[in-house]
Amino acid sequence: MSMQKDPASYEQAQALGLNEDEWGVILKRLGRAPNQTELGIFSVMWSEHCSYKSSRRHLRKLPTTGACVICGPGENAGVIDIGDGLACIFKMESHNHPSYIEPYQGAATGVGGIMRDVFTMGARPVALLNALRFGSPDHPKTRALVSGVVAGIGGYGNCVGVPTVGGETNFHAGYDGNILVNAMCLGIAEQDSIFYSAAKGAGNPVLYVGAKTGRDGIHGATMASAEFDDETEAKRPTVQVGDPFTEKRLIEACLELMQTNCIVAIQDMGAAGLTSSSIEMADKGGVGIDLDLDKVPQRETHMTPVEMMLSESQERMLIVLRPGKESEAQEIFERWELDVALIGKTTDTGHMVLHHKGETVCDIPIAPLGDDAPNYDRPWVAPPTLPVINASEIAPGDPAKALLRLVQSPDMASKRWIWEQYDRHVMADTLKASGGASDAAVVRVHDTNKALAMSSDCTPRYVLANPFEGGKQAVAECWRNLIASGASPMAVTDCLNFGNPERPDIMGQFVRAIDGMAEACRALDFPVVSGNVSLYNETAGTAIPPTPVIGGVGLIDDATMAMGFGGAVAGDALILLGKTTGWLGASLNLREIEGREEGAPPPIDLEQERRTGMLVRTLIHGGQVHAVHDLSDGGLACAATDMALASRCGVHLMASDTLSDAAWFFGEDQGRYLIAVKTGAVDALLDQAQQAGVDAKVVGTMEGLDVVLGDAMPLALDLLSQKHENWLPAYMEDA
Partner 1 sequence: MNAAVIVFPGSNCDRDAVCALRDHTAKSVHRVWHRDTYLPKVDLVLLPGGFSYGDYLRSGAIAARSPIMAAVQAHAKRGGLVVGICNGFQILTETHLLPGALMRNAGLKFLCKSTPLRIENADTPFTRAYDDHGETAIPIAHHDGNYFADEDTLDRLEGQGQIVFRYVNNPNGSSRDIAGITNKAGNVLGMMPHPERAVDPLTGETGGLAFFKSLAGAMA
Stretch that binds partner 1, among 155-163, 230-238, 490-498, 526-534 (CB under 8 A): 155-163
From the list 228, 333, 422, 498, which residue makes contact with partner 1 (rule: CB under 8 A)? 422
From the list 28, 60, 401, 425, which residue makes contact with partner 1 (rule: CB under 8 A)? 425
CA distances for 217 relative to 132, 297, 299, 455, angstroms: 22, 17, 14, 30
| Nearest by Cα to 127 from 78, 88, 162 | 162
Nearer Cβ to partner 1 (317/556): 556
Stretch that binds partner 1, among 231-239, 415-423, 516-524, 581-589 (CB under 8 A): 415-423
Q: Respond yes or no: is residue 355 known to be catalytic.
A: no
The active-site residue out of 49, 97, 172, 355 is: 49
> From the CB of 724, what's the least distance to partner 1, in Å?
17
Q: Do 98 and 240 contact (CB within 8 A), yes or no? A: yes
Nearer Cβ to partner 1 (195/419): 419
Cross-sheet strand order for the sheet of 124-134:
69-71, 78-81, 86-94, 180-190, 124-134, 164-171
Stretch that binds partner 1, among 256-264, 265-273, 423-431, 496-504 (CB under 8 A): 423-431
Does residue 99 belong to the site contacting partner 1 (CB under 8 A)? no
Does residue 431 belong to the site contacting partner 1 (CB under 8 A)? yes
| Total residues in contact with partner 1, by rule CB under 8 A | 32
Query: Which DSSP symbol is given to 386?
Result: P
Nearer Cβ to partner 1 (146/458): 146
Stretch that binds partner 1, among 149-157, 512-520, 635-643, 708-716 (CB under 8 A): 149-157
Does residue 355 belong to the site contacting partner 1 (CB under 8 A)? no
Does residue 249 belong to the site contacting partner 1 (CB under 8 A)? yes
Does residue 415 belong to the site contacting partner 1 (CB under 8 A)? no
Strand (E) positions, 285-417?
A: 288-292, 316-321, 339-347, 351-356, 359-365
The three-point CA angle 403-407-412 to 5° equals 130
At residue 374, φ and ψ (nearest 5 deg) are -55, 145
Stretch that binds partner 1, among 281-289, 419-427, 477-485, 673-681 (CB under 8 A): 419-427
Report the alpha-carbon distance of residue 162 to residue 429 in Å, rounded. 11
Nearer Cβ to partner 1 (349/726): 726
Sign of CA dihedral 310, 206, 156, 544: negative
Nearer Cβ to partner 1 (385/449): 449
Contacts of residue 514, defined as CB under 8 A and 6 or more positions apart, other chains included, come to 58, 59, 61, 62, 471, 496, 548
At residue 332, φ and ψ (nearest 5 deg) are -65, -45
Does residue 248 belong to the site contacting partner 1 (CB under 8 A)? yes
Does residue 128 belong to the site contacting partner 1 (CB under 8 A)? no
Draw the binding track, 571-610, toward partner 1 (x: CB under 8 A; -: no contact).
Answer: ----------------------------------------
The three-point CA angle 532-114-317 to 5° equals 115
Stretch that binds partner 1, among 7-15, 27-35, 75-83, 150-158 (CB under 8 A): 150-158
Question: Beta strand pairing status for 627-630 and 538-539?
Answer: unpaired
Nearer Cβ to partner 1 (181/513): 181
Contacts of residue 622, defined as CB under 8 A and 6 or more positions apart, other chains included, come to none
Report the alpha-carbon distance of residue 497 to residue 555 in Å, rounded. 27
> From the CB of 402, what's the least distance to partner 1, in Å?
31
Does residue 436 belong to the site contacting partner 1 (CB under 8 A)? yes
Nearer Cβ to partner 1 (442/640): 442
Does residue 154 belong to the site contacting partner 1 (CB under 8 A)? yes
Nearer Cβ to partner 1 (559/593): 559
Q: Which helix (H) or strand (E) covers residue 553, if one does?
A: strand 547-556
| Nearest by Cα to 181 from 201, 162, 167, 193 | 167
From the list 159, 173, 388, 705, which residue makes contact with partner 1 (rule: CB under 8 A)? 159
Does residue 427 belong to the site contacting partner 1 (CB under 8 A)? yes
From the list 256, 420, 598, 605, which residue makes contact with partner 1 (rule: CB under 8 A)? 420
Positions 517 through 576 that interact with partner 1 (CB under 8 A): 559-560
CA atoms within 13 A on the CB side of 104: 9
Report the alpha-carbon distance of residue 258 to residue 221 in Å, rounded. 29
Does residue 430 belong to the site contacting partner 1 (CB under 8 A)? yes
Nearer Cβ to partner 1 (311/430): 430
| Nearest by Cα to 636 from 666, 610, 606 | 666
Does residue 98 belong to the site contacting partner 1 (CB under 8 A)? no
Q: Do 640 and 568 contact (CB within 8 A), yes or no? A: no
From the list 91, 97, 316, 444, which residue makes contact with partner 1 (rule: CB under 8 A)? 444
The active-site residue out of 58, 95, 356, 652 is: 95
> From the CB of 696, what's the least distance to partner 1, in Å?
30
**Which residues on neighbouring strands pair with residue 629, listed in sequence order?**
674
Does residue 288 belong to the site contacting partner 1 (CB under 8 A)? no
Does residue 652 belong to the site contacting partner 1 (CB under 8 A)? no
At residue 430, φ and ψ (nearest 5 deg) are -75, 120
| Nearest by Cα to 675 from 657, 651, 707 | 651
Nearer Cβ to partner 1 (58/432): 432
CA distances for 632 relative to 131, 219, 434, 477, 478, angstroms: 16, 40, 17, 8, 11
From the list 106, 135, 244, 527, which residue makes contact with partner 1 (rule: CB under 8 A)? 244
Q: Respond yes or no: is residue 58 known to be catalytic.
A: no
Nearer Cβ to partner 1 (328/420): 420
Report the alpha-carbon distance of residue 244 to residue 267 in Å, rounded. 18
Does residue 448 belong to the site contacting partner 1 (CB under 8 A)? no
Nearer Cβ to partner 1 (256/695): 256
Task: Based on DSSP, count helices (H) and strands (E) in the chain, helices before strands.
Answer: 25, 28
Q: Do 46 and 21 contact (CB within 8 A), yes or no? A: no
**Which residues on neighbouring strands pair with residue 184, listed in sequence order?**
92, 129
**Which residues on neighbouring strands pair with residue 443, listed in sequence order?**
430, 452
Does residue 671 belong to the site contacting partner 1 (CB under 8 A)? no
Does residue 151 belong to the site contacting partner 1 (CB under 8 A)? yes
Stretch that binds partner 1, among 158-166, 193-201, 487-495, 567-575 (CB under 8 A): 158-166
Positions 307 through 346 that interact with partner 1 (CB under 8 A): 336-337
Sign of CA dihedral 27, 29, 31, 35: negative
Does residue 161 belong to the site contacting partner 1 (CB under 8 A)? yes
The catalytic residues are 49, 95
Q: Which residues bind partner 1 (CB under 8 A)?
A: 151, 154-155, 158-161, 243-246, 248-249, 336-337, 419-431, 436, 444, 559-560
